[in-house]
Amino acid sequence: MGQTLATERDERHLFRAIELASEARGHTSPNPLVGAVIVKNGRTIGEGYHTAAGAPHAEREALAACSEDPSGSTLYVSLEPCAHHGRTPPCTEAIIGAHIARVVVASEDPSAKASGRGLGILRDEGIQVDLTGGVCNKQARLINQPFRKHAKTGRPLVVWKAAMTLDGKVATSRGDSKWISGTSSRARAHRWRAECDAVAVGIGTALSDDPQLTARVEGVYRQPRRVVFDAEARLPVNSTLVRSASVETPVTVVCSRAASRTHVTALETAGVEVLMVKGDTEPARVAAGLQELGALEVQSVLLEGGPHLAGAFMDAGEIDEARVFFAPMLAGGARSRGALDGQGVELIDQARRAVTTSVEQIDEDVLISARFTEW
């Protein structure tokens, strides 16, 4: 599927479509973020975006919002229009029925049910179709990294979140870590929870902190699934997580096949979903657990576990992005906890290097975001 060079005008409308798509962040999973703009005779006559799974798609929203007949107009859309029946009818039918003359697409849909099919249908109907490359294509792909990874691999995108001192410590020798990051940084992390499908920790964190793992900020569309990687299914039935397990705030335990049947049954009776996975090592069980979560349409995981679990994810090659808060303090101490355990690498040139980075000041903290994969 070839790409064309977008004009300056095309880019302007595509960036607007991407901006619209981003308005629904955290609301559309397992569907992608999509925005659309309809332009006729140089004027924008309609805009729309996909607001939630099951709601009309962006193209139909934009068509419904048109201030005049869209016949002969150009449709700018951030993602390839769908051509399949799902919860809503195909967008290609609406585009053809509206007599759109040209469709400009910022990024392709990599899922098996799409992958160029919609664009082919539109071209067969005599509609001019242009798939752009360059910056528009990159931005459109970046806002849908969870959807794209899941479509290509069946596994969710993993974002590792951590807060550490300037000397790389996430806890003192006594295990104290409250609070390294500031209030604003913690609020940002809660917003990330609201935008992800799942939040994951290890059994060590679950036992020591007895966390809620919910998103406690205003405007939360839905709470994330709470996931505990717990090889022996030791999560207590009287823990905060288990006692709060429900359809609205589900809890999933990923355990090994060696877990006690009694423990597993107790958790399931209490309303916890238990995924029993294969794997002789923790990284192998992490990979298998992510595959199982992907089968449940979990497309994004915010990894909040401690150094032990984070190291297992790293050894499994399953950290796609890191978001690390650095606080202006020093902890010191050989026994203070570093951020990542696991096997790690023996040589620096074997270390995973980010493909993109960004730096942001949040009150006194510094947030460094690093993307290691692009899907």
> Does 59 participate in catalysis according to the annotation?
yes
Q: Which of 11, 59, 108, 195 is catalytic?
A: 59
Using the CB atoms, write b or e for 165-175: b if 16+ within 10 Å. Answer: beebbbbbeee
Q: What share of the chain is helix, strand, coil (3-state, %, to 5)?
A: 30, 25, 45
Pairing label, strands 365-371, 35-40: unpaired
End-to-end CA distance of the chain: 17
**CA separation for the pair 213, 200 (Å, rounded):** 8
Cβ burial, residue 217 (10 Å; 0-12/13-18/19+) = middle
CB 324 within 8 A of CB 165: no
Question: Minimal CA–CA distance to 44: which of 83, 19, 12?
Answer: 12
The residues carrying an active-site annotation are: 59
